[in-house]
Amino acid sequence: MTVLVLVEQAGGTASDPSLQALTLARSFGEPVHALVIGSAADLGPFGVRVTHVAEHEAFVSYAPDAWAATVGQLADRLAASAVVAAGTERGNEVMARVAARTGLPLAANCIAVAPGPPVTLTRLRWGGSLLEEARLHSPLPLITVAPHVVPIEQAPVATEVDRFTPQLKEQELLVRVLEHVAAPGGGVSLTEAKVVVSGGRGVGSKEGFAIIEELAGLLGAAVGCSRAVTSAGWRPHTDQVGQTGTKIAPEVYIACGISGATQHMAGCKGAKRILAINSDAQAPIMLSADYAVVGDLKDIVPAISAEIRKLK
């Protein structure tokens, strides 16, 4: 009875979503073993008895089928009782490939699990605006854990490291990262900004974003937008906040002329504080925002900028 967790790491440090996955994995029981690809991370504080480090020359670049093959081989060798990964882009895609190879069901983006059989679980659907309670009927439960929902808990144990080399077929290296193109620098990144000022259909036009950019500039903020705006071609999709855009968690989110559709809010509900600026006092966003100013954003946004200038 070993629970195996795929841990993603950068520079020897496990990612937060992986530590959250380790926390949830303990719901299946102990011991918990971790698999890291490439180089080790110290996981003893997080309840990991054995850290299996997979080493292979192919791991210089990411290859999802090779990762899936490695997960499968280790799960077999340990006779694992469950396999868990973070519900990140990579975690989800590797586990989908593990599921396909093993012919087993996969439950993505879980926030709670209880051992079975059958395993009972709760997972995010509709971009997190609904929860699904489900039963998973499987000899080997495959689970990914929704990022940033389960709080990380420590559970220190004595830990050891096992290094191994998986057997990889050529075909498993066909899909691999061949090149990384760095993003052009400059500007404040949407995911890292402490403040995001977003505009929606209420901004009215591409040019209308000048006042949004001005306020963002004064606050050192990133500019975001709703899907109505990207569909109209006013802003690039990289600015879109939401279920099919970017998910953000700034200190302050200022939503100007955005109605507050669930698919939009799915991208900004991690914000500490939400301020809505909307001409409609009954707009749905009034039920998710902390603060609101009612009126025309074309008056309000420049007035806020002017007020900030007075301070400087």
Q: Where do contacts with ligand FAD occur on this chain (CB under 6 A)? A: 200-202, 226-228, 240-245, 257-259, 261, 263-264, 267, 277-280, 283, 296-298
154 or 303: whose CB is closer to other proteins? Answer: 303
Q: Which does 125 bind (CB under 5 to 8 A by kind): ligand FAD, other proteins, none?
A: other proteins
Query: Which residues pair with residue 52 across a beta bridge?
Result: 35, 162
Q: Which does 131 bind (CB under 5 to 8 A by kind): other proteins, ligand FAD, none?
A: other proteins
Smallest distance from the beta carbon of 170 to ligand FAD, in angstroms?
38
How does DSSP assign 54-67, residue by residue?
E--GGGGS--HHHH
128 or 257: whose CB is closer to other proteins? Answer: 128
Residues 278 and 233 sit within 8 Å (Cβ to Cβ): no
Smallest distance from the beta carbon of 255 to ligand FAD, in angstroms?
8
Q: How far apart are CA 229 and CA 221, in angstroms?
A: 19
CA 263 to centroid of chain Cα atoms: 15
Q: What end-to-end distance do the CA atoms of the chain give, in Å?
A: 62
Smallest distance from the beta carbon of 307 to ligand FAD, in angstroms?
18
Smallest distance from the beta carbon of 44 to other proteins, in angstroms?
27
Q: How far apart are CA 159 and CA 297, in angstroms?
A: 57
49 or 201: whose CB is closer to ligand FAD? Answer: 201
Collect contacts of 94-99 with beta carbons under 8 A, ≥24 apart. Answer: 94/6, 94/64, 94/67, 94/68, 95/6, 95/68, 95/71, 95/142, 95/143, 95/144, 97/64, 97/65, 97/67, 97/68, 98/68, 98/71, 98/72, 98/142, 99/142
Q: Which two tokens stand for residue 137?
A: 């009927």
Smallest distance from the beta carbon of 173 to ligand FAD, in angstroms?
34
8-state DSSP, 240: B
Q: Which does 257 bind (CB under 5 to 8 A by kind): other proteins, ligand FAD, none?
A: ligand FAD
- Residue 299 φ/ψ, nearest 5 degrees: -95, -45
Smallest distance from the beta carbon of 239 to ligand FAD, in angstroms?
10
Q: Which does 258 bind (CB under 5 to 8 A by kind): other proteins, ligand FAD, none?
A: ligand FAD
22 or 252: whose CB is closer to other proteins? Answer: 252
50 or 300: whose CB is closer to other proteins? Answer: 300
100 or 210: whose CB is closer to other proteins? Answer: 100
Q: How far apart are CA 285 and CA 272, in angstroms?
A: 15
Q: Which does 235 bind (CB under 5 to 8 A by kind): ligand FAD, other proteins, none?
A: none
Amino acid code (one letter) for 129: S
3-state secondary structure (DSSP) of residue 92: helix
Residues in Cβ contact with 237 at an 8 Å cutoff, skipping those fewer than 6 apart: 230, 245
Q: Which two tokens stand for residue 97?
A: 């490939």
Smallest distance from the beta carbon of 186 to other proteins, in angstroms?
13
Q: Which does 97 bind (CB under 5 to 8 A by kind): other proteins, ligand FAD, none?
A: other proteins
Smallest distance from the beta carbon of 127 to other proteins, in angstroms?
7
Q: Which residue is nearest to ligand FAD (CB)?
A: 242
Q: Which does 294 bind (CB under 5 to 8 A by kind): ligand FAD, other proteins, none?
A: other proteins
Q: Which residue has the tokens 């089928």?
A: 65
Q: Which does 201 bind (CB under 5 to 8 A by kind): other proteins, ligand FAD, none?
A: ligand FAD
